[in-house]
Structure 1
Amino acid sequence: MSGFTTVRSLGRGALLAVASTVLVLNLGACSAPASDPAPSPSGHGAPEASWADQQWERAVQSAPDLTDGERPDVVEVRTIEPSEVGRVMTECLHAAGFLDVELTPDGEGYTTSAANAAEAKALAVAQYACWVQYPIDPKYTKPLTDDQVKALFAYFAGPLSDCLREQGYVPSTPPSEASFVEAYSSGNAWNPLNEVLASLSQQGEILALSQACPSVPEGLYG
């Protein structure tokens, strides 16, 4: 496929840090859905930009010649669950005139394409507007508490690693909980699912494993 192709997906198990929802951005090639973005690191730091500002930054990354004067005024309609992203964004972008937008095979993400830079720019603005109209519930995007990080480690080292073995993969040896917590705050924590997914090249394999082994434990976000 020529032109610009983007795949956006949160995937099964749904995750935060949707400021990082652009999982794959390829120029001149079609792309397969990638793994879930990692949960937001815990800890203190500089105040995060608003959801709308984060999405505008993403739009400018997609279309660098966008100016702040081209940023539309958008009113929030409602918050959505990560599992709704594919359907809601597809419907929103169709309503904006981008009828080539399609759901990813798992139904939780969406693909877009643009024939040229001008179309890519218009699409970036439309995606910005849709994301601001339908933001992810903030409970999925805020940093995890220390207890949540420890619960995530227990899941990675236990049920998730067991699931990977059942699917025929060999997860790497987990670090200590203390090492995981320390690394997590910097965004470099051990993640056995992401390690395995990074070794796969076939869309079918990636999708099957993502569906079989949820990336986060049920109830992590309350």
Structure 2
Amino acid sequence: MHDLGWPDVRATADGGLESGGIQNSQAGAHALAMYTCNAKYPMDPKYNVPLTDERLGELFDYFTDELQPCLAAEGYDTPEAPSRETFIDTYAETGGWNLYEGVAGNGQSEWNAINKKCPQLPVDFNE
């Protein structure tokens, strides 16, 4: 992104990108730069493999047994858990269950800290 004229873009601790404020008139150029970078540096295919029902069950167990209690212990409210069956059946369309929706508006440093303390996925999930 820097090479393409976006020096303010930086990688975040959770693997994302932070672009800062982008004016509406720059949105197209920014999108083209993102597209170019994604083509030049594609995501490892292991992150794009559809999850089996068994893997979704493992993810649901992590969410209910570890992630939700961790976030609650840190003072975050989390949405009520769907049933295991609903989570598995709707994951492809909805992402299943977003326990982090109450964390999003609290700033990047807090986001990074809670992601480190309460990882959104099990550490070895994509291995």
TM-score category (smaller protein): 0.7 to 0.9
Q: 2:2: which partner in 1? A: 94
Deviation at 1:173, TM superposition (A): 4.2
TM-score, normalized by length of structure 2?
0.77
Q: Is the 8 A contact 2:9 2:18 kept in 1?
A: yes
Mapped contact 2:14–2:112 kept (Cα < 8 A)? no
Q: How does 1:114-153 map to 2 (within 5 A)?
A: 114-115=22-23, 117=25, 119-153=26-60
Deviations 1:163-183 (A, max 9, x none): 112212344443332222122
Give the alignment's Cα RMSD to 1 decimal.
Answer: 2.5
Alpha-carbon distance between aligned partners in 2 of 1:126 and 1:152, rounded to the nearest angstrom: 33
1:202 pairs with 106, 121, 124, which one? Answer: 106
| Matches of 2:82 and 2:67, distance apart in 1 | 15
Give structure 2 stretches of 5+ with no counterpart: none
Match of 1:161 in 2: 68
What TM-score, normalized by structure 1, do the two folds share?
0.48
Measured in 1, the distance between the counterparts of 2:92 and 2:14 equals 31
* Residues 1:121 and 1:175: Cα distance change in structure 2 (over 3 Å): closer
Counterpart Cα distance in 2 of 1:94 and 1:216:
29
Residue 151 of structure 1 contacts residue 220 of structure 1 at CA under 8 Å; is this kept in 2? no
- Segments of structure 1 that go 5 or more residues without pairing to the other structure are 1-92
Q: Taking CA–CA contacts closer than 8 Å with sequence separation of 6 or more, which of the two structures ends up with the larger relative contact order?
A: 1
- Matched length: 125
1:190 corresponds in structure 2 to: 97
Identity of aligned residues (%): 37
Determine which structure has the larger strand proportion and give its number: 1
